Amino acid sequence: MKLASPQCDRYSSVCTGNELRKIIAIEGIDGSGKSSLTSLLIDRFKTLGRDPIESSLFKRAELRAAASAMNDAGAMTPETLCGLHYADLQMEYSDAREEPGQIRIWDRYVYSSATSIRLRGGPQHAWRILLDHFPQPDLVVLLLADPAVCFDRIVNRAGKPTFFECGLDRLYRGERLKGAMEAYHQGSIPMEFARSMFVEFMHAWNQSLEELAVGPHVMIIRDFDLKDAARIVEDVIVACE
Protein backbone atom coordinates (compact mmCIF):
# COMPACT_ATOMS: atom_id res chain seq x y z
CA MET A 1 0.00 0.00 0.00
CA LYS A 2 1.66 3.22 -1.16
CA LEU A 3 1.21 6.71 0.15
CA ALA A 4 -0.25 9.09 -2.40
CA SER A 5 1.04 12.41 -0.98
CA PRO A 6 -2.46 13.93 -0.72
CA GLN A 7 -3.18 17.63 -0.59
CA CYS A 8 -5.01 18.22 2.72
CA ASP A 9 -4.72 21.96 3.26
CA ARG A 10 -7.16 22.02 6.19
CA TYR A 11 -4.82 19.86 8.23
CA SER A 12 -1.90 21.24 10.20
CA SER A 13 0.36 18.58 8.73
CA VAL A 14 -0.03 15.89 6.11
CA CYS A 15 1.57 12.61 5.17
CA THR A 16 4.13 12.65 2.39
CA GLY A 17 6.49 10.09 0.95
CA ASN A 18 6.28 6.59 -0.46
CA GLU A 19 6.28 4.16 2.46
CA LEU A 20 4.46 0.89 2.97
CA ARG A 21 1.60 1.69 5.32
CA LYS A 22 1.03 -0.72 8.19
CA ILE A 23 0.21 1.03 11.48
CA ILE A 24 -2.44 3.74 11.81
CA ALA A 25 -2.91 5.32 15.24
CA ILE A 26 -6.04 7.29 16.13
CA GLU A 27 -5.18 9.61 19.02
CA GLY A 28 -7.14 12.15 21.03
CA ILE A 29 -8.65 12.88 24.42
CA ASP A 30 -11.59 11.09 26.01
CA GLY A 31 -14.80 11.93 24.15
CA SER A 32 -12.99 13.18 21.05
CA GLY A 33 -14.51 10.54 18.76
CA LYS A 34 -11.52 8.20 18.48
CA SER A 35 -13.48 4.98 18.82
CA SER A 36 -16.18 6.09 16.37
CA LEU A 37 -13.57 7.09 13.81
CA THR A 38 -11.64 3.85 14.35
CA SER A 39 -14.75 1.72 13.76
CA LEU A 40 -15.71 3.65 10.63
CA LEU A 41 -12.17 3.37 9.29
CA ILE A 42 -12.02 -0.38 9.88
CA ASP A 43 -15.40 -0.88 8.20
CA ARG A 44 -14.28 1.20 5.21
CA PHE A 45 -11.05 -0.75 4.79
CA LYS A 46 -13.05 -3.99 4.84
CA THR A 47 -15.20 -2.76 1.95
CA LEU A 48 -11.94 -2.32 0.03
CA GLY A 49 -10.94 -5.94 0.64
CA ARG A 50 -8.57 -5.18 3.52
CA ASP A 51 -8.94 -6.84 6.92
CA PRO A 52 -7.26 -4.57 9.46
CA ILE A 53 -6.20 -5.70 12.91
CA GLU A 54 -7.99 -3.59 15.52
CA SER A 55 -5.99 -2.78 18.65
CA SER A 56 -7.13 -0.80 21.67
CA LEU A 57 -4.99 0.60 24.44
CA PHE A 58 -5.26 -0.84 27.95
CA LYS A 59 -8.46 -2.87 27.46
CA ARG A 60 -7.15 -6.19 28.85
CA ALA A 61 -9.16 -7.33 31.85
CA GLU A 62 -6.19 -8.81 33.68
CA LEU A 63 -4.16 -5.60 33.45
CA ARG A 64 -7.10 -3.41 34.40
CA ALA A 65 -7.68 -5.67 37.41
CA ALA A 66 -4.03 -5.32 38.39
CA ALA A 67 -4.27 -1.54 38.08
CA SER A 68 -7.47 -1.52 40.15
CA ALA A 69 -5.81 -3.57 42.89
CA MET A 70 -2.83 -1.21 42.93
CA ASN A 71 -5.12 1.81 43.16
CA ASP A 72 -7.22 0.26 45.94
CA ALA A 73 -4.05 -0.40 47.91
CA GLY A 74 -2.77 3.13 47.31
CA ALA A 75 0.32 1.60 45.73
CA MET A 76 0.09 2.86 42.14
CA THR A 77 3.10 4.85 40.96
CA PRO A 78 3.93 6.32 37.52
CA GLU A 79 6.64 3.67 37.13
CA THR A 80 4.14 0.88 37.89
CA LEU A 81 1.67 2.41 35.44
CA CYS A 82 4.42 2.46 32.82
CA GLY A 83 5.07 -1.24 33.41
CA LEU A 84 1.39 -2.04 32.95
CA HIS A 85 1.20 -0.07 29.70
CA TYR A 86 4.40 -1.73 28.47
CA ALA A 87 2.94 -5.18 29.19
CA ASP A 88 -0.32 -4.23 27.47
CA LEU A 89 1.39 -3.09 24.28
CA GLN A 90 3.73 -6.09 24.27
CA MET A 91 0.85 -8.57 24.63
CA GLU A 92 -1.18 -6.82 21.94
CA TYR A 93 1.65 -7.22 19.44
CA SER A 94 2.32 -10.82 20.52
CA ASP A 95 -1.32 -11.91 20.22
CA ALA A 96 -1.96 -10.57 16.71
CA ARG A 97 0.80 -11.06 14.16
CA GLU A 98 0.55 -8.98 11.02
CA GLU A 99 0.88 -10.52 7.62
CA PRO A 100 3.05 -8.61 5.12
CA GLY A 101 1.25 -5.42 4.15
CA GLN A 102 -1.55 -5.88 6.68
CA ILE A 103 -2.94 -2.79 8.39
CA ARG A 104 -3.17 -2.42 12.16
CA ILE A 105 -5.39 0.37 13.47
CA TRP A 106 -4.89 1.51 17.05
CA ASP A 107 -7.60 3.22 19.10
CA ARG A 108 -5.00 5.17 21.11
CA TYR A 109 -1.36 4.19 21.01
CA VAL A 110 2.01 4.90 22.66
CA TYR A 111 1.41 8.66 22.67
CA SER A 112 -1.55 8.23 25.03
CA SER A 113 0.40 5.75 27.16
CA ALA A 114 3.31 8.17 27.48
CA THR A 115 0.96 11.09 28.15
CA SER A 116 -0.88 9.23 30.91
CA ILE A 117 2.38 8.53 32.72
CA ARG A 118 3.84 11.96 31.98
CA LEU A 119 0.84 13.88 33.34
CA ARG A 120 0.82 11.76 36.47
CA GLY A 121 4.32 12.84 37.37
CA GLY A 122 6.32 10.07 35.75
CA PRO A 123 9.97 10.86 34.92
CA GLN A 124 10.94 11.11 31.27
CA HIS A 125 12.78 7.79 31.25
CA ALA A 126 9.61 6.04 32.47
CA TRP A 127 7.45 7.10 29.54
CA ARG A 128 10.14 7.60 26.89
CA ILE A 129 10.78 3.85 26.80
CA LEU A 130 7.28 3.32 25.39
CA LEU A 131 7.92 5.70 22.50
CA ASP A 132 11.35 4.22 21.81
CA HIS A 133 10.56 0.50 22.11
CA PHE A 134 7.34 0.03 20.14
CA PRO A 135 6.91 0.53 16.37
CA GLN A 136 6.26 4.08 15.27
CA PRO A 137 2.99 4.48 13.34
CA ASP A 138 3.08 5.10 9.63
CA LEU A 139 0.14 7.46 10.06
CA VAL A 140 -1.18 9.23 13.17
CA VAL A 141 -4.62 10.84 13.06
CA LEU A 142 -4.61 13.27 15.98
CA LEU A 143 -8.06 14.55 16.95
CA LEU A 144 -7.80 17.79 18.90
CA ALA A 145 -11.24 18.41 20.37
CA ASP A 146 -12.46 20.96 22.91
CA PRO A 147 -12.34 19.31 26.39
CA ALA A 148 -15.55 21.07 27.47
CA VAL A 149 -17.40 19.67 24.45
CA CYS A 150 -15.94 16.22 25.13
CA PHE A 151 -17.10 16.37 28.75
CA ASP A 152 -20.67 17.00 27.61
CA ARG A 153 -20.46 14.13 25.12
CA ILE A 154 -19.35 11.74 27.85
CA VAL A 155 -22.10 12.93 30.20
CA ASN A 156 -24.70 12.36 27.47
CA ARG A 157 -23.28 8.92 26.71
CA ALA A 158 -22.31 7.54 30.11
CA GLY A 159 -23.65 9.90 32.78
CA LYS A 160 -20.23 11.22 33.77
CA PRO A 161 -16.54 10.63 33.03
CA THR A 162 -14.60 8.14 35.12
CA PHE A 163 -12.59 9.21 38.14
CA PHE A 164 -9.40 8.72 36.12
CA GLU A 165 -10.67 10.53 33.01
CA CYS A 166 -11.07 13.58 35.24
CA GLY A 167 -7.50 13.17 36.45
CA LEU A 168 -8.74 13.11 40.04
CA ASP A 169 -6.15 10.47 40.91
CA ARG A 170 -3.53 13.22 40.52
CA LEU A 171 -5.21 15.11 43.36
CA TYR A 172 -6.07 12.20 45.65
CA ARG A 173 -3.05 9.94 46.05
CA GLY A 174 -1.99 6.99 48.16
CA GLU A 175 -4.36 6.08 50.98
CA ARG A 176 -6.73 8.92 50.02
CA LEU A 177 -7.36 7.50 46.56
CA LYS A 178 -9.80 4.70 47.38
CA GLY A 179 -12.00 6.93 49.55
CA ALA A 180 -12.05 9.64 46.90
CA MET A 181 -13.02 7.10 44.22
CA GLU A 182 -15.93 5.90 46.35
CA ALA A 183 -17.02 9.49 47.01
CA TYR A 184 -16.95 10.23 43.27
CA HIS A 185 -19.00 7.14 42.41
CA GLN A 186 -21.54 8.06 45.10
CA GLY A 187 -21.86 11.61 43.77
CA SER A 188 -20.26 13.27 46.79
CA ILE A 189 -17.74 15.12 44.62
CA PRO A 190 -19.59 18.00 42.88
CA MET A 191 -19.99 17.58 39.12
CA GLU A 192 -18.82 21.14 38.47
CA PHE A 193 -15.56 20.36 40.23
CA ALA A 194 -15.20 17.15 38.22
CA ARG A 195 -15.88 19.12 35.04
CA SER A 196 -13.20 21.70 35.82
CA MET A 197 -10.70 18.93 36.60
CA PHE A 198 -11.59 17.08 33.38
CA VAL A 199 -11.21 20.19 31.22
CA GLU A 200 -7.86 21.06 32.81
CA PHE A 201 -6.56 17.49 32.54
CA MET A 202 -7.69 16.98 28.95
CA HIS A 203 -6.29 20.34 27.88
CA ALA A 204 -2.91 19.17 29.17
CA TRP A 205 -3.48 15.82 27.41
CA ASN A 206 -4.12 17.56 24.08
CA GLN A 207 -0.95 19.59 24.54
CA SER A 208 1.12 16.52 25.37
CA LEU A 209 -0.15 14.60 22.34
CA GLU A 210 0.82 17.52 20.11
CA GLU A 211 4.30 17.55 21.62
CA LEU A 212 4.86 13.79 21.34
CA ALA A 213 3.21 13.01 18.00
CA VAL A 214 5.17 15.12 15.54
CA GLY A 215 6.38 14.73 11.98
CA PRO A 216 5.10 14.50 8.41
CA HIS A 217 3.24 11.27 9.27
CA VAL A 218 0.88 13.11 11.64
CA MET A 219 -2.49 14.34 10.38
CA ILE A 220 -3.83 16.88 12.88
CA ILE A 221 -7.55 17.58 12.90
CA ARG A 222 -8.58 20.50 15.06
CA ASP A 223 -12.07 21.05 16.46
CA PHE A 224 -13.05 17.57 15.40
CA ASP A 225 -16.78 16.96 15.13
CA LEU A 226 -18.36 13.54 14.75
CA LYS A 227 -20.38 14.72 11.76
CA ASP A 228 -17.07 15.05 9.87
CA ALA A 229 -16.03 11.44 10.56
CA ALA A 230 -17.12 9.96 7.22
CA ARG A 231 -15.22 12.61 5.27
CA ILE A 232 -12.12 12.14 7.39
CA VAL A 233 -12.26 8.38 6.83
CA GLU A 234 -12.06 8.99 3.08
CA ASP A 235 -9.14 11.40 3.58
CA VAL A 236 -7.27 8.73 5.55
CA ILE A 237 -7.97 6.15 2.86
CA VAL A 238 -6.59 8.52 0.22
CA ALA A 239 -3.52 9.16 2.38
CA CYS A 240 -2.85 5.43 2.46
CA GLU A 241 -3.36 4.59 -1.22
Q: Which domains does the chain have, with CATH numbers?
A: 23-239 (3.40.50.300)
Segment 213-236 shows an average pLDDT of 88
Segment 1-25 shows an average pLDDT of 42
Distances (CA, A) of 39 to 6, 69, 159, 171, 222: 23, 31, 23, 34, 20
- pLDDT tens digit string along 196-212? 999 999 999 999 999 99
pTM for the whole thing? 0.87
The amino acid at 83: G
* Dihedral sign (CA 59, 65, 69, 72): positive
Supply the pLDDT for residue 98.
Answer: 60
